[in-house]
């Protein structure tokens, strides 16, 4: 066996943008690896050692190729990359011809683009694993939710994309699912997460999105993972002037608020009442209702929330408790309330119904009290009160992706204009998922999981 001698190694290579003028020898690989730096790279050969070293500070790439019984390899040695080739000297010419045929493919594989984070993700995929947050059994969230390394997604097929996740919120529904109390029980092990924002990493044939586009991940796709592969139907590139933490919270609470208001068929000037007014859905209801010209009555449990909600457009804010109907009349007079939105259940539901006008409709979308509600049959019968439930997952299941995309695009535009805005308490790196879950269970604001570098508008 022989190694490349110093005379067979070029002494210098030039990298100019994406165009590389290289001799077809082992140092070509080093120069290709250095190309992301957009500058020249000097390769040096150690006589008798059969190695060439590029002093370019490039990341470790780990590469090995066999050409005509010659093995080409790249490894990291300290702060340098070392390329070497060994084989039968009689086959060197054939090996070099095969190396020439591989040069284009090698360049495509190793050339770094301007986005270093994109390169880092490609490296992570080659490393053989990505991080996901999942459950393998149902139980208390702090005990059953785990951070697991899994194989990265396969190459996207036609109409599919691979998304590198950036941010994803922790919703009460995620914790209910972990407990096994949600409306669906996925096959275990199951990745969690109901919405988020990320960047397109790879796109399959027929997909208009391009690498680097920021996209929302709709609620029907679990997304607590560094990378996910999903259908591209209904996905769209988000504008650059909306920060990631706002985009990450568009697809559940604001969409729920918009749909409940639309389905209530309230016309401008009409009035509704809601509890849980300081929740993510409640705040979105206030802001979207204000844009629609609707009047809102909002119930909270703490006095200090009253000016806070009025500052985002709430018309009337009252404390939950006894004599609500009388207190409302003293505040607003003989206002007719046509719709109620219930996110609490328990005793609060009866208070909402008591405030509804004859023929009014109560929509139940959550039950944070974990209590059943009981209603007087006389209220239901003699005042013709209607009860209905709303579950976003059900709406998404029966609605065409193109229609979902239209609604989400309108919400992104409202977010861009400042019409709606979500409050974020803090974000946690994915490695700190346990602290994030514990924080989320305290109910102290919206908690985000961070999988990549955030984009701030």
Backbone phi, then psi, for 363, in 5-degree steps? -110, 120
Rounded Cα–Cα distance for residues 248 and 359 (Å): 37
Res. 153: pLDDT tops 90: yes
**pLDDT band per the 50, 70, 90 thresholds, residue 394:** very high
In a domain, 405, yes or no: no
Sign of CA dihedral 46, 50, 54, 57: negative
List the single range of 20-34, 151-165, 223-237, 412-426 with lowest mean pLDDT: 20-34
314 and 243 within one domain: no
Give residues with Cβ within 8 angstroms of 197, minimum separation 6. 165, 166, 167, 168, 214, 215, 216, 217, 238, 244, 247, 248
In a domain, 455, yes or no: no
Res. 95: pLDDT tops 70: no
Rounded Cα–Cα distance for residues 8 and 92 (Å): 10
List the single range of 121-125, 195-199, 405-409 with lowest mean pLDDT: 121-125
373 and 263 within one domain: yes
Domain count, the chain: 3
| Alpha-helical segments (H) within 316-355 | 324-332, 347-355
- Residue ending a domain, among 92, 112, 132, is 112
357 and 262 within one domain: yes
What are 343-393's pLDDT values in tens digits?
999 999 999 999 999 999 999 999 988 898 888 888 889 999 999 999 999
Q: What is the mean pLDDT of the chain?
A: 79
139 and 76 within one domain: no
Q: What's the whole-model pTM score?
A: 0.72
In a domain, 338, yes or no: yes
Rounded Cα–Cα distance for residues 260 and 280 (Å): 14
Please pick, among 182, 221, 365, 428, the residue that the annotation labels catalytic: 182
Res. 45: pLDDT tops 80: no
260 and 236 within one domain: no
Q: Cβ(290)–Cβ(265) under 8 Å?
A: no
57 and 34 within one domain: yes
Q: Which residue has the higher pLDDT, 35 or 436?
A: 436
Q: Which domain holds residue 147?
A: 124-249+423-450
What are 19-31's pLDDT values in tens digits?
223 333 444 444 4
Please calculate the CA angle 330-333-338 and round it to the nearest 5 degrees: 115
86 and 44 within one domain: yes
Rounded Cα–Cα distance for residues 294 and 264 (Å): 11
- Residue ending a domain, among 63, 92, 112, is 112
Q: Which residue has the higher pLDDT, 332 or 77?
A: 332
235 and 194 within one domain: yes
Q: Can you give the CATH number for the domain in which 444 is found? A: 3.90.180.10
128 and 212 within one domain: yes
In a domain, 143, yes or no: yes
Sign of CA dihedral 65, 70, 72, 77: positive
365 is catalytic: no
263 and 229 within one domain: no
């Amino acid at each position: 066996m022989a190694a490349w001698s110093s005379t067979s190694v070029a002494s210098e290579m030039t990298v100019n943008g994406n165009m590389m003028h290289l001799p077809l020898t082992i140092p070509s690989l080093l120069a290709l690896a250095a190309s992301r730096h957009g500058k020249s790279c000097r390769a040096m050969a150690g006589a008798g050692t059969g190695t060439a070293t590029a002093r370019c500070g490039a990341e470790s790439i780990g590469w090995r190729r066999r050409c005509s019984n010659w093995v080409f390899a790249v490894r990291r040695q300290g702060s340098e990359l070392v390329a070497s080739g060994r084989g039968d000297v009689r086959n060197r010419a054939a090996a070099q011809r095969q190396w020439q045929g591989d040069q284009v493919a090698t360049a495509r594989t190793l050339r770094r683009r301007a986005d270093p984070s994109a390169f880092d993700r490609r490296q992570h995929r080659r490393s053989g694993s990505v991080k996901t947050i999942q459950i393998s059994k149902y139980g208390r969230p702090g005990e059953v939710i785990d951070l697991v390394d899994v194989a990265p997604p396969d190459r996207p097929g036609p109409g599919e994309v691979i998304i590198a996740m950036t941010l994803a919120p922790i919703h009460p529904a995620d914790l209910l699912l972990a407990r096994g109390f949600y409306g669906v029980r996925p096959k275990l092990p199951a990745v969690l997460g109901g919405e988020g924002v990320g960047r397109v990493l790879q796109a399959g044939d027929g997909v208009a999105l391009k690498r680097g586009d920021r996209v929302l991940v709709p609620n029907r796709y679990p997304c607590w993972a560094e990378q996910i592969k999903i259908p591209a139907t209904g996905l769209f590139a988000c504008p650059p002037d909306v920060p990631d933490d706002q985009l990450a919270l568009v697809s559940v609470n604001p969409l729920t608020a918009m749909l409940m208001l639309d389905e209530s068929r309230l016309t401008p000037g009409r009035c509704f009442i809601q509890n849980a007014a300081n929740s993510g859905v409640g705040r979105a209801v206030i802001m979207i209702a204000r844009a629609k010209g609707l009047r809102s009555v909002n119930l909270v449990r703490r006095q200090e929330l009253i000016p806070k909600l009025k500052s985002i457009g709430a018309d009337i804010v009252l404390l939950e408790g006894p004599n609500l109907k009388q207190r409302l009349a003293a505040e607003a007079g003989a206002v007719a309330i046509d719709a109620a939105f219930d996110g609490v259940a328990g005793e609060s539901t009866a208070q909402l119904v008591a405030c509804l006008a004859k023929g009014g409709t109560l929509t139940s979308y959550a039950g944070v009290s974990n209590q059943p509600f009981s209603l007087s049959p006389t209220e239901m019968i003699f005042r013709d009160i209607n009860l209905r439930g709303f579950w976003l997952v059900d709406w998404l299941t029966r609605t065409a992706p193109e229609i979902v995309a239209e609604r989400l695009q309108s919400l992104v535009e409202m977010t861009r204009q400042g019409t709606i805005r979500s409050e974020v308490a803090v974000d946690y790196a994915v490695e700190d998922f346990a602290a994030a879950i514990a924080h989320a269970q305290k109910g102290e604001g919206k908690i985000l999981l961070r999988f990549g570098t955030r984009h701030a508008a």
